[in-house]
Amino acid sequence: MLKEKIRHDFDVEAIRKDFPALDQEVYGKKLIYFDNGATSQKPRSVIKTVEQYYLSDNANVHRGVHHLSQKATDLFEASRRIVQNAINAPEEETVIFTKGTTDSINLLAFSIGETLKTGDEVIISEMEHHSNIVPWQMMCERKGCILKVIPINDKGELIMSEYEQLLSDKTKLVAVTHVSNTLGTINPVEQIIEMAHKKGAWVMIDGAQSIQHMKIDVQAMGCDFYVFSGHKVFGPTGTGVMYGKKEILENLPPYQGGGDMIDKVTFEKTTYNVLPFKFEAGTPNIAGCIALGEAFNYLSGLDHNELAAYEEELLDYAEKQLLTIEGLRLIGTASKKISVASFVVDGIHPFDIGTLLDKQGIAVRTGHHCTQPLMDRFAIPGTVRASFAFYNTREEIDQFIIALKRSVNMLR
C-alpha cells in the first residue's frame, strides 16, 4: 500500500546502488543511515575520482610546468567551473575553495572584520550553527563591534518583524543560515537579503544544509556571500566553497598568508595575487576539490525537482509516524522545511534513544547539534535528529519507527 504512494518516476533503488556505504550491516542489522545532516554518503564516481587522482594525477597545482602538474591544475580548475555553474556564480574566480563551511565563515569573519570599526553591527539568528556564531563573536570582540540576534517563534521560524527592528544604519553584515541543521527550517533568504541591502549591509548565507536539497542560484538570491561544505553535498570531507561578489572580494584583505596567494614577496612588502588565489594560501585539498566537482556532476544527472519532492514525501511520512508515539514532540515545525525531523520524548534523554537505535542498525544524531543557544530557546538538553537524503526509503522509516518504539518502551 505504501509503495503505491511513492513517486513512480523516482527510482530510489537504482540510486542506492551508487552509494556503496549503504550496503552494509551494523550489529548484524542492515544499516539505515539517517544522519545526512552531519555528512552525506558518497557515490562511487566521487570515490573513484579521489582514487584516480592519487593513482595517476598526483601533483601540486599552479606551480609546475611538468605534465602532471598541468594535468592536476586543469582538473582542479575544471572543478571550480563546475561549482560555478552549479550555483550560477557570475565568474569562476568568485568561487573560493576552502576546507568547509566553518573555514569559509572564519575567512569572512577575519577579512570583513578588517574593514569594520568600533560600534558597527553584525546580525545573526537564534537558530545558527556554532560555526556561524563563534567566528562573529570573536570578530566583534577583536574589533569592538556589536552582535545582534534575530529571535525565532515556537515553530522555529524567524520573527521577521524583529529582524526589521534590528536593522540600522550601523548594520554592516547579516549572516544567517539558509536552512537550520536542527529544525529543518527554510529561511526567507531573499527577503532577508533585500531588507539588509536597503540598509547598505552585506549578507552572507550559510548554505551547509541547503546546497544538497535545493537548486542554488546566488545571482537570483542576491547574496553577497554564500558558503557550504563539500561533505554534505555528497563530496569529500575537508572541502568547501566560499562564493563572494567579485567587487567585494577584490577589496577584502586575505585571511591567510603563504604560497599561491602572493604576487610578489620582499622583506619590505608583499603584494597579493588576483582572485581566487588571494584567498587560497598553501597547497589545497586537490583530490577533494576535484572530487567535489564530480559530486556536482553526479547531481546534475538527477532531477532536482524530483529529488526535492521525494525528500518532502519522506519527511511528511516520517513526521506523521513519529507523532503516533506517546510523549514525542517535534522540535521545528516551520511551514517550510527540508527533510529533517528533530524530536524529544518526555522523560527520556536523546542520547539513550540514539544509543539503542544504533544497536538496531539505525544511525541518527543526538545532542545539541552545535546549536546550544537554540536548545536553550526550547529549554531542552538536545534532540534526536533523523535527517533524510534522496537515497533513503519509506521502508527504512518503517524500520526506524519500529526500532524507536522498541527503544522508548525499554527506557520508560
The pLDDT, as a whole number, for residue 9 is 65
List pLDDT tens digits, range 179-223.
999 999 999 999 999 999 999 999 999 999 999 999 999 999 999
- For the segment(s) 47-300, the CATH number from 3.40.640.10, 3.30.200.20, 3.40.50.20, 3.40.50.300 is 3.40.640.10
Signed CA dihedral, 65, 67, 70, 72: sign only: negative
- Select from 218, 245, 192, 232 the least CA-distant residue to 365: 232
pLDDT at 400 over 90: yes
Domain 2-36+303-411 class? alpha beta
Question: For the chain, what is the mean pLDDT?
Answer: 96
List pLDDT tens digits, range 94-143.
999 999 999 999 999 999 999 999 999 999 999 999 999 999 999 999 99
Give whichever of 2-11, 270-279, 327-336 has the largest mean pLDDT: 327-336
370 carries an active-site annotation: yes
Say if CB 276 and CB 250 are below 8 A apart: no
- Compute CA distances 342 → 101, 214, 314, whole Å: 22, 20, 14
Provide CB contacts within 8 A for 176, sequence distance 6+. 123, 124, 125, 128, 132, 150, 158, 187, 189, 192, 203, 204, 205, 206
Cβ count within 10 A of residue 30: 13
E strands within 137-217? 146-150, 171-177, 202-206
List pLDDT tens digits, range 243-266.
999 999 999 999 999 888 888 888
pLDDT at 237 over 90: yes
| Catalytic residue of the set 140, 145, 289, 370 | 370
Torsion of CA 362, 368, 233, 36, to 10 degrees: 10
Q: What is the pTM of this model?
A: 0.96
For the chain, residues classed under CATH 3.90.1150.10 are 2-36+303-411
List pLDDT tens digits, range 354-395.
999 999 999 999 999 999 999 999 999 999 999 999 999 999
For the chain, residues classed under CATH 3.40.640.10 are 47-300
3-class DSSP state of 226: strand
Q: Which amino acid is at 400?
A: F
- Select from 94, 123, 401 the least CA-distant residue to 276: 94
Q: Provide mean pLDDT across the span 260-284.
A: 91
